[in-house]
A and B are shown apart, each in its own frame.
Chain A
Amino acid sequence: MHTENTAPGGRVSATAAAWAGGCAAWLAAASALAYEPASAAPGRINDPAAGWDHLWHEVIVDITIIGVIFALVMAWFLWRYRARKPGEVGTQSKLSPAAVIGWAVIPTFIFMADDFYLAANGWKLWNDYRDVPADRMEVKLESGMYSWDYTYANGVRTQNVLRVPAGKPVMLRMTSRDTLHSHFIPDFRVKEDSMPGRVTYLWFYPKAPGEHVVSCAEYCGVMHSYMAGKIIVMPEGEFKTWLDQEVAKLAPADKAVDKSAEKTADKPANPPV
């Protein structure tokens, strides 16, 4: 048994260090959790896509720092402790019990603090993704091998092209008539699977006129990679004109009453199909 201890951290009173580190880590974690995910003030809309870019940036910085520290320490060890002469062996001595605990507890608390910090931020953004603003346009989506079939509230139907007005949140209530599909809009940083027997939803916030690719992100069959569509964001006036024209073309029986004004901001429940 060694009494002298030269291992890293062995000389400092590791128990004291563990307590200090642990308390600091818990404080950090607690403050991260206390960071109450404020829901959007009335009338203000938290755009999940912007939130995604922000959080992504934050996480990339976080993991880059961890990665660079680890890599540098490792590279330094490899250089510093390379074998100088044949037959040499390593000289690391056994950790004292306090150091063993310190080297378990301190990293644990540090990782845990970072985990909770990230979890709190991830959760906040998650709420933005799942709470749909009250002032929204709802469209039903039925996916099938291999097309996206949209139905507007007033009964207008389109295939593979979804036209929406700029400046209004759009929510899709989705189901599938055959296999799994996943309605993926890279530009709006969102996807969710559609499947038979359940209704899922997603929403996005198209702010300016333009076109965006839709692609299928869940393997759904032979032509999976060809299941592409398009979202066309139009100025509000143009969109209205287009929608009115389409309604006019509908047979009376296909027309539906638009009830979208009655929605509240919420996580929508999943009604049966």
Chain B
Amino acid sequence: MSFNIKEWIFTTDHKRVGVLYLIGSIAAFGVAGIAAMLMRIELSTLGPTITTNPTQYNVWLYAHGAVMILGFQIPALTGFFANYCIPLMIGAKDVAFPRVNALSVWLFYVGIILALLTFVVPDPPDVMWTGYPPYSTITTGNTALYSFTVLVLGFASIIGGVNFLTTVAYMRAPGLKWSNLNIFVWCTLGAFVLQLIFVPVLGTAVTLISFDKYLGTHFFDPSRGGDVLTYQNLFWFYSHPAVYVIFLPFIGVVYEIVATFAKNRVFNHKVVLWGGIGGIVILSGEVWVHHLYVSGMADWIRIGQMVTTLLISIPVGLLVISLAGTLYKGSITFETPMLYALGVLFLFLIGGLTGIPLALTSLTLHLSDTYYVVGHFHYVMAVAGTFAIFGGVYYWFPKITGRMYNERWGKIGFWLTFVGVNIVFWIMMTVGVKGMPRRYYDYSAFPQFESAHQWMTLGAAILGVGFLIAVANWIIGAMKGAPAGDNPWRSQSLEWTTVSPPPHGNWPSPPSVDPDWTPYSYERR
């Protein structure tokens, strides 16, 4: 494969667009990860450690949160995996609108560059990834940069959504029924439906804070008839569903991996589609107030959304049962992708269950805005999602590159990260329950937590090494790994039926499937 940079930049091939998304989002992960490491080092002693300027810490935290979510997880899941896998999984030559696809990846890079400007502009945004007014409208930090970053990345994602919904609707291989699509495809469609409905709300929210700050409007200024809570409602009206925009594709990746390495049919496939994925899509828009339990919302809605929040346990529980059931009577092997997928299940179990106290309004009056929350959402979304992304990259690595990564180093990297994240985020939850507030540059009011913070910093160093090993493993594997063959995992899914790496157009002649074929039919040989 000769390398021609122009061909890559101007590519409309969904696989290359996907790889561009992957490279950009892993780079973003690196930058946001460095910010996390700097925060952890800063917190390793009481009082100032590596910077005496609280704003510096706040900017790291802003960059960490915003880039991890908007620049890493959403683009990796709905940009890279969706692009690379969906056309291959449905037996299509490409996406419906290849040029729109190219536009979306360019916009993504513009968004990443805007986000990285945080580190060079004179007054970087310091509004946290949530950007709450009134602070965001009075800070000397650059709130406009925040608004533009969100708008550009949001727009990139929306046009991706339109593209994929059309692609799956019209370009499935002959014989491929909706109900026999890969679970990953369904999950991603669910995520895109959420993006299409809710991103515009986020766009409105961040646009209005910039209007307030720079154009002199008063949407969120009560002294002139505005209301500060309006922003929080708009913001979380999007940003809670955004959690499922991350969750759905990542659990979809886990399904593909678990089914392949258990060589088994997916347990209760139909209920996964309608009860699990459908249930999440429907409930996801009715729980945002659980982010506003202590912000002064009316009592009745706090109670109401306590109930809807608890009910989310039903579709999520159905998915977890189905994943466990998929192991039943399987023939399980434990290569690196499977380790990551099982890691996701473990982390998600802890993250999901520790969310139940947070669903209860009354318990949250103590837990909200503490390290308990930060520990919980890293388990359930941040780290579980990252493990799914890493597992997925390992899983499709032979397809993407035609080569094999190093299995031993893959496992070493996995175990380091797995141990590291549990040290960091378990301790984080315990200090949170004892009262450690989040977003603290200096915790002098809580000197008793210093040693816990030091353990967390140590854990972060361990997991950082694990991630570095994984990325190094990919780079080395892509350059000189052993040839992998077309279907090293013996999967039944369509993407493995073409050569590795697939040519432009994917198949010499488009595949078709029997009506009773599913991506998980291992028994019929």
Chain A interface residues (CB < 8 Å from chain B): 6-8, 48, 51-52, 55-56, 59-60, 62-63, 66-67, 70-71, 73-74, 77-78, 81-84, 87-95, 100, 103-104, 107-108, 111-112, 114-116, 118-119, 121-123, 125-126, 128-130, 178-180, 182, 184, 186-187, 189-198, 200, 202, 213, 215-226, 228, 267
Contacts and interface: CB of A to CB of B under 8 A. Distances in A.
A182 B369 contact: yes
Interface string B333-377: 110000000100110011001101101111101101110000000
Nearest to B312: A115
Contact of B303 (A52, A71, A126): A126
Contact of B330 (A90, A221, A226): A90
A196 B222 CA distance: 7
Interface in B313-329: 313-314, 317-318, 320-321, 324-329
A192 B365 contact: yes
Given A111-B317, A213-B446, A91 B523 contact: yes
Contacts of B113: none
B145 interface: no
A108 B331 CA distance: 28
Given A100-B271, A118-B356, 15 more contacts: A60-B357, A66-B353, A74-B324, A81-B262, A83-B331, A92-B326, A103-B267, A115-B310, A125-B363, A184-B437, A192-B365, A195-B228, A219-B128, A224-B58, A225-B440
Contacts of B139: 221
A115 B307 contact: yes
18 contacts: A7-B267, A59-B357, A63-B354, A63-B356, A77-B327, A82-B332, A87-B490, A89-B331, A91-B331, A93-B523, A95-B268, A107-B321, A126-B306, A180-B132, A191-B294, A195-B228, A218-B295, A226-B442
A54 to B, nearest CB: 11
A191 B307 contact: no
B296 A193 contact: yes
Given A119-B306, A122-B360, A104 B268 contact: yes
A5 B124 CA distance: 62
List the 4 closest A-B pairs by CB distance, nearest first.
A197-B222, A186-B435, A90-B264, A122-B360
B345 to A, nearest CB: 7
Interface string B286-303: 000000001110010011
Contacts of A77: 324, 327-328, 330, 332
Interface residues of B, number: 90
Contact of A217 (B332, B369, B442): B369
Contacts of B299: 126, 130, 267
Contacts of A202: 365
Contacts of B58: 222, 224
B403 interface: no
A81 B222 contact: no
Contacts of A56: 357, 363, 433
B333 A83 contact: yes
